[in-house]
């Protein structure tokens, strides 16, 4: 696992699908790697240990990662390239994956699930708006120099 973390730090993330294809399309694609899988799972476990709920955090973390990988798999099947946007799925893939995986072992109320979906949709758009404004600010500042 340490090897994968090192690869992630130096920028060499081995794709999870190992460049394999189905019908001449990558299974998941370049953006989902082995290092990020192990790194995110480790961060989830550490968070769980800190909050004294390591198994629950593990289920949420691994489910979230599986949700993002499933999103990538779906996008490759319908010929959507890396970085292209699918409304709703791109904002909620992590929440849906985490919820499905978590609810296989623990109770998850529909109120919590739908609250997570709504918060993810809102935060995604707010953060993108802030990012675009920040990028515009940086570009404007570079023009003045």
pLDDT tens-place string over residues 6-37? 555 655 678 888 889 898 888 888 878 887 88
Residue 128: per-residue pLDDT: 85
Residue 1, pLDDT above cutoff 60: no
Instruction: Give the pair of three-digit tokens for residue 117.
Output: 């979906």
Mean pLDDT along residues 128-136: 89
Q: Is the pLDDT confidence value at 5 over 60?
A: no
In a 13 Å sphere around the CA of 101, the CA atoms on its Cβ side amount to 21
Mean pLDDT is lowest, of 61-65, 97-101, 138-142, for 138-142
Do residues 73 and 55 touch, judged by C-beta distance below 8 A? Answer: no
Q: Which residue would you say has higher pLDDT here, 99 or 35?
A: 99
């Amino acid at each position: 696992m340490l090897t994968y973390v090192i690869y992630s730090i130096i920028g060499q993330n081995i794709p999870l699908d190992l460049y394999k294809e189905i019908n001449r399309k990558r299974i998941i694609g370049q953006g989902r790697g082995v290092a990020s899988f192990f790194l995110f799972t480790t961060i989830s476990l550490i968070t769980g240990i800190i909050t004294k709920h390591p198994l629950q955090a593990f289920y949420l973390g691994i489910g979230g990662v599986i949700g993002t990988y499933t999103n990538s798999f779906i996008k490759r099947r319908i010929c959507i390239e890396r970085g292209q946007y699918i409304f709703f799925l791109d904002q909620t893939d992590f929440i849906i994956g985490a919820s499905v995986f978590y609810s296989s072992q623990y109770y998850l109320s529909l109120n919590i699930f739908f609250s997570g979906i709504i918060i993810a949709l809102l935060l995604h758009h707010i953060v993108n708006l802030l990012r675009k404004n920040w990028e515009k600010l940086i570009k404007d500042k570079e023009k003045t120099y």
